Structure 1
Amino acid sequence: MSARGIIIGAPRSGSGKTSVTIGLLRALTRRGLNVRGAKSGPDYIDPGFHAAATGKPGVNLDSWAMGPDLLNTLAASVATDADYVIAESAMGLFDGIPGEAGRSGSAADLARLYRLPVILVLDVSGQSQTAAAIAKGFACYDSDVKIAGVILNRLGSERHKRLTGDAIEALGIPVVGAMLRDPTLTLPERHLGLVQAGEYEDLMGHLDRLADMAESALDIERILELAGPFAPQGNPKTPAALPPPGQRIALAQDAAFTFLYPHLEAGWRAAGAELIPFSPLADEGPADDCDVCWLPGGYPELHAGKLAAADNFRAAMHDFAKTKPVHGECGGFMALGEGLEDADGTRHQMLGLLGHSTSYAQRKMNLGYRRAIFLHDTPFGPKGTEIRGHEFHYARLIDAGTDAPLADLADGQGNALGQFGGKRGHVSGAFFHAIAQA
C-alpha cells in the first residue's frame, strides 16, 4: 500500500495541533496501522512525542534549512514504510520567512510540494460563527494549499459546537472533530517549549489519554479518507544532512543534553558512524576510543549544580580535548564555558574549555533561522563550510571571553549578524543548532 499523508495545521501556536497530532498518531498505532509522524520546521521536541506515540523515529521536514534533495529523501524515508504520515505544522500554517519560493520553512511549503491536504485545528474559545470567517480565509488564501477539514478545539458546550460547526460546514468545509475544553489533556511547557517526552513519569498513560480523546472527539475514519497520496521522490544516495564528525562519536545524552535532531542521528548511523552515549549528570566522560565528542543542546541551566560537581566528567573532557575535537551546541556551548548563572543568579563552574560565561538569570530570547560560515576547520567540515540551522535560547552571554570566533553568522534572509561562538584548540561551540549543509 502506498502511504497517504495529511498535515495538521492551525492559525497559531497554542491552538491544540500538537495534542491532536499525538492523539491521532497514538490512536492509529493502537489500531495496528503503520503510522509515522513528521514536524515542519526546526522544532526538536515534538518529534520525540511522535516517536513515543508510534514506536518509530520522528523526523523534521524543514523546507528552509534542508535543500530539496535532502527534504525529499527524508520525506520519502517516512513514507516508504508507512500506511499514513501525519505531519504537524510549526506555529501557524503559513508562518515562515520571506525568501526563495518554497523555502520559507512553513508547513504550507510541504502542503504545496507534496499536495498534502490540511486539517485545520481552530481554538474557538471566545467565538462561535466567527470561526467560519477564519476557516474561509484559510481556504481562500492560497489555492495550492487545500484545507480539507476543520477540528474545533476548546468548545464550551454542545450549543457552542453546533453554532460554530454549522457555520463552517455551510461553507462546504467538513468539521471532522470537536473537542471540549479539557485542561487535563494539555501538555506542560517550559521556556524552550513542551516538557520533553522522556521526562514524563507516565508518558504512555498520557499518550493513551490523548488517543482516547482522538477516538471520542475526532472522526478518524473521515480524516483518513481526506488524507492524500504521499510518495516523495527521494534519492537514497543523498548524503547525510551533515557528514559524521567522526567514526565513533561520544554523545552526551541525559536530562541536561537532549537536543539532537533525529535526521542527524539517522544520517550519521547510515553513513557508518557509531554513537557512543555518556551521561555528564552521572559524572561520566567520553569514551577514550571515540574520535570526537558532541555536547548537544538541552537544559544545563536546570542542572548546573550537578554538572559543576561532576569532577570525573570535567577531568575526562579536559583529557579528551587535548587531542580530539569537542563541539557544543547551545546548552553544550554553555557547559563548555567558564561559568553558568542559573535562574536564581547563582554562578556554577562549568568545564572551562572555552572562555565565555552565560546566564539564565539575565534572560533574553533569541529565536530564528541562521546561516553560519565557519572560520576554521571544525567537526562540521573544513574552513568555509556553510551550514543552515537556527537559534532558540533564553540564556545570554555575560562574558564573551577571548577565544577566536567560530563563524560568521547571518539570519535566515542573509542579513549579517556578526561573528559568533568560540574556538580554542580542538574545542568549538556556539548557540547555533546545525540542521543541514547549505
Structure 2
Amino acid sequence: MTVPGLMIAAPASGTGKTTVMLGLLRALSENGLAIQPFKSGPDYIDPAFHRAACGRASFNLDSWAMMPGLIDAIAAEASGADMILAEGSMGLYDGVASVGGTGHGASADMARRMGWPVILVVDVSGQAQSAAATAMGFARFDPDLPFAGVILNRVASPRHERLVRRGMEAAGIRVLGALPRRGDLTLPERHLGLVQAVEHPDLDKAIADYAVFLRDHVDLAAICDAASGRGGSTAGQLPLPPAQRIALAQDEAFSFIYPHLLEGWRCAGAEIVPFSPLADEAPAADADLVWLPGGYPELHAGRIASASRFLTGLRHHAETRPVHGECGGYMVLGEALIDKDGARHAMAGLLGLVTSYAQRRMHLGYRHARLLAPVAGMPAETALRGHEFHYSTILEQPDAPLAHVTDADSVAVAETGSHRGRVTGSFFHMIAPAL
C-alpha cells in the first residue's frame, strides 16, 4: 500500500518552511497520525528536528547523490505510517546545473518522482496580489509536478490576507493556510544552518508552539486530503557497513552523519557503539573501525585538545585498525585546528592536516569521489557521492590524497582528503556509493 505524502517547499530559503514543517509534524502527530518525515537534499541538521517533532526517524532523499534503488529503499522507511511529509531545501527547483545522476538534486525532482503534491510556503511580506504571480509561476513551471496549494507566511494584517487571497483566487491557487507575522517563532542559526536540535535550549516547547500556531491558521484536514503518492520498487538496498563493530563519535561536536547510513549499517548486522569525545570517552577497545563524523569541533577545540582518554584511545586504535573522519572529524585527526580567534589547538596528530577558522572560506556543494586508498571495508577505486559544507581553510595537508574529488560539474576540487597508514579523512560527507 502506498503511503500518501506531501512536499513542503518554498520559492527560496528563509521563507519559514522549517517552522511549517515542524508545526505540521507535531500537530498531525497529536491528531493520532503516524507521520513519516523526510528531508530532500543533503542537509544533515533538519532530520533531527523532524524526529523531535513527530517521534519517527527522518531520512534524507537526494536525486543527485542517490541511485533509484537507494531512494526506494529509504522511502520504504515510511512503511506503517499514515502519511509522509518531506521538507524541501532552498527553492523548489534549485539544484545543480548538470545532471550526472538520477536528477539534479532539486526538491521538485523528488516530489515528481514520488508523486507528492507540493505545498509552497510563500513569504508574502512586502506584497499582496503580486504573491499570486510567484505562486502561479511555481505551480505551472513544471506541468508534471503535482501542486496542492500554498501556505501564506508573514501576513501583516487581516486586510493584507484578504488582498493576497484575492490574488491567489484569481490565479487559481488554493490557499491552505495564512500565518500571521510572528517574530518569536524562529530557530537559532549558525554558519552551517540551524543550531543542532540537541543544543536547542527548549526544543519541545518551541515545536509545541509551532503546532498551536499551525492549528490556528491552516486547514489540517485539507492538507491531509491533498496528500498523494506512488509506490516505488522494493528491490533497493541501504548502504552496507564498512565494518562489523563501529565506534561512532556522537555528541555536540560530532553529529553530522546521514541517518540512512546508520540504518543501513544496523540492518546489515553491524554494531554501532557510540562514544563522546567531549566527555573524554575513548572509542570501544574492541571496535573494528572508529568513525568521527562532522560537526562543530571548532566550537569545542580546547576541550577536544585536552581530552586525553579520547586522544590516547584513538591513537592506540589507529596502530592496528582503521580510523576515518569526515569534515570536522577529519580536522580532529590532523595536527592542529586554529579557531576563529587564531588560537592553535593540538589535535590527534594521526594526519598532518592543519586547518584554520581564522581564515574563513565557504566550501559548499555536491562531491563525486573515487577512492585512491581503502577506507575501512571500502576498497580503493570505490566511487562515492557526497556533499561538502564547511568554512575552514587548509593550511597544511602533507599526506597522500585519499580520493580524486570533483564537484557536480565534474570540476576537480582541491579538498581531496588524505590518508596515512590506517587513518583516512575527507571533507565531504559520504551519502552513497555511486553504483
Name structure 1 gaps, 5 residues minimum.
Answer: none
**Rounded Cα–Cα distance in structure 1 between residues aligned with 2:246 and 2:301:** 24
Question: What is the match of residue 293 of structure 2?
Answer: 296
Contact 2:188 2:194 in 1 (8 A): yes
Question: What is the match of residue 340 of structure 2?
Answer: 343
Shift, 1:245, TM fit = 1.5
**Rounded Cα–Cα distance in structure 2 between residues aligned with 1:324 and 1:316:** 12
Give the 3-state SS of the residue equivalent to 1:178 in structure 2. strand
Give the 3-state SS of the residue equivalent to 1:280 in structure 2. coil
**Rounded Cα–Cα distance in structure 2 between residues aligned with 1:258 and 1:89:** 21
Question: What is the match of residue 4 of structure 2?
Answer: 4
Could you say if the C-alpha distance between residues 199 and 158 of structure 1 is closer, same or farther in structure 2, counting changes exceeding 3 Å? same
Question: What is the match of residue 147 of structure 2?
Answer: 147
Shift, 1:240, TM fit = 2.7
**Rounded Cα–Cα distance in structure 2 between residues aligned with 1:12 and 1:349:** 40
Shift, 1:147, TM fit = 2.1
Give the 3-state SS of the residue equivalent to 2:278 in structure 1. helix
Q: Deviations over 1:290-324 (max 9, x none)?
A: 10000000000000010011111111111000000
**Rounded Cα–Cα distance in structure 2 between residues aligned with 1:418 and 1:386:** 17
Question: What is the match of residue 52 of structure 1?
Answer: 52
Question: What is the match of residue 350 of structure 2?
Answer: 353
Contact 1:114 1:230 in 2 (8 A): yes
**Rounded Cα–Cα distance in structure 2 between residues aligned with 1:375 and 1:418:** 15
Shift, 1:110, TM fit = 1.2
Question: What is the match of residue 239 of structure 1?
Answer: 237
Question: What is the match of residue 91 of structure 2?
Answer: 92
Shift, 1:419, TM fit = 6.4
Question: What is the match of residue 286 of structure 1?
Answer: 283
Contact 1:36 1:84 in 2 (8 A): yes
Give the 3-state SS of the residue equivalent to 2:260 in structure 1. helix
Contact 1:36 1:85 in 2 (8 A): yes
**Rounded Cα–Cα distance in structure 1 between residues aligned with 2:372 and 2:3:** 43
**Rounded Cα–Cα distance in structure 2 between residues aligned with 1:356 and 1:186:** 37
Question: What is the match of residue 433 of structure 2?
Answer: 437
TM-score (norm 2): 0.97
Question: What is the match of residue 408 of structure 1?
Answer: 404
Contact 2:321 2:422 in 1 (8 A): yes
Question: What is the match of residue 122 of structure 1?
Answer: 122
Q: Deviations over 1:132-163 (max 9, x none)?
A: 11011112211011221111101111111111
Residue 416 of structure 2 is aligned to residue 420 of structure 1? yes
1:99 is matched by which residue type in structure 2? S
TM-score (norm 1): 0.97
Could you say if the C-alpha distance between residues 90 and 324 of structure 1 is closer, same or farther in structure 2, counting changes exceeding 3 Å? same
Contact 1:295 1:329 in 2 (8 A): yes
Question: What is the match of residue 112 of structure 1?
Answer: 112
Give the 3-state SS of the residue equivalent to 2:287 in structure 1. coil
1:259 is matched by which residue type in structure 2? F
Name structure 2 gaps, 5 residues minimum.
Answer: none
Contact 1:11 1:91 in 2 (8 A): yes
Identity among equivalent positions (%) equals 54
Question: What is the match of residue 261 of structure 2?
Answer: 264
Q: How many residues matched?
A: 433
Contact 1:65 1:389 in 2 (8 A): yes
Give the 3-state SS of the residue equivalent to 2:163 in structure 1. helix
Give the 3-state SS of the residue equivalent to 1:223 in structure 2. helix
Could you say if the C-alpha distance between residues 343 and 212 of structure 1 is closer, same or farther in structure 2, counting changes exceeding 3 Å? same
1:207 is matched by which residue type in structure 2? I
Match of 1:310 among 293, 304, 307: 307
**Rounded Cα–Cα distance in structure 2 between residues aligned with 1:220 and 1:231:** 24
Contact 1:2 1:83 in 2 (8 A): no
Residue 312 of structure 2 is aligned to residue 319 of structure 1? no
